[in-house]
Amino acid sequence: MEEGDLILASKKGDLDSFNQLVERYQREVYNLALRMLGNSQAAEDATQEAFISAFRGIARFRGGNFRAWLLRIVANACRDQLRLLRRRPTIPLDALVLEADRDTPSPEDYALRRELGEQIAKALADLLPDQRLAVILCDIEGLSYEEIAQAMNCSLGTVRSRISRGRGRLRRHLAEHGELSP
């Protein structure tokens, strides 16, 4: 079924149609939550909360970009999780590991990529939540500035400044740790 048909059926209470939407977006939603929170358990919780909220609120979806609408819900769930984690910190942030190339890398290359992935994860974790979300949506998820503005419920200019400031802080962090590629 087409996405629009699935949304219409979901608005009428068809759980199977909504489950198909979940299947289409679950990886993207989880990856955004993981990058925002840096903790797999918290990301799973935020993902689950986001899909529950989306199901409960799909009747209020007025059309437009479903992906951006869903990512806004995920971003809000992540903000809730961040507030919860600040109140009750449990474990340190998980390190994100960059996927190895399809060709088998040498152990040295693998170790370097892993270290770079860990530094990027640390740098992302140090960003303000709104900057982190904007950078992740743009540079990792590949959303356009307009989609990011819709997902973050802010103006295009705000998106541009958050991305610019976030990228600048990432560059400074990586430069301080000697991790920038030539």
Q: The CATH number of the domain where 16 resides is what?
A: 1.10.1740.10
Task: Report the percent of the chain where pLDDT is more than 90.
Answer: 41
70 and 136 both lie in a single domain: no
* pLDDT above 80: residue 2: yes
Strands (E), the chain: none
- pLDDT-derived band at 87, boundaries 50, 70, 90: low
4 and 48 both lie in a single domain: yes
Tokens at residue 176, please? 């301080």
Rounded distance between C-alpha atoms, residue 170 and residue 44, angstroms: 25
**Total domain count, the chain:** 2
The pLDDT of residue 93 is 39
- pLDDT-derived band at 99, boundaries 50, 70, 90: very low
80 and 127 both lie in a single domain: no
138 and 148 both lie in a single domain: yes
Residue identified by tokens 């030539």 is 182
Q: 138 phi and psi, to 5 degrees?
A: -80, -55
101 and 179 both lie in a single domain: yes
Residue identified by tokens 């909504």 is 18
Residue identified by tokens 């799973």 is 44
117 and 175 both lie in a single domain: yes
- Residue 128 exposure: Cα atoms within 13 Å on the Cβ side: 9
Q: Of 93, 111, 137, at which residue does a domain stop? A: 93
pTM over 0.85: no
Rounded distance between C-alpha atoms, residue 171 and residue 38, angstroms: 19
Q: pLDDT tens across 14-24, in order?
A: 999 999 999 99
76 and 123 both lie in a single domain: no
Q: Of 74, 93, 112, at which residue does a domain stop? A: 93
Q: pLDDT tens across 33-85, in order?
A: 998 888 888 889 899 999 999 999 999 898 889 999 999 999 999 888 887 76
Q: Of 93, 109, 140, at which residue does a domain stop? A: 93
Averaged pLDDT score across all residues of the chain: 83
14 and 87 both lie in a single domain: yes
Tokens at residue 126, please? 């140090």
CATH of the domain at 181: 1.10.10.10
149 and 160 both lie in a single domain: yes
More confident position, 97 or 18:
18
Q: How much helix, strand and coil, in percent to the nearest 5, is found in the chain?
A: 75, 0, 25
Identify the domain containing residue 76 by its residue range.
1-93
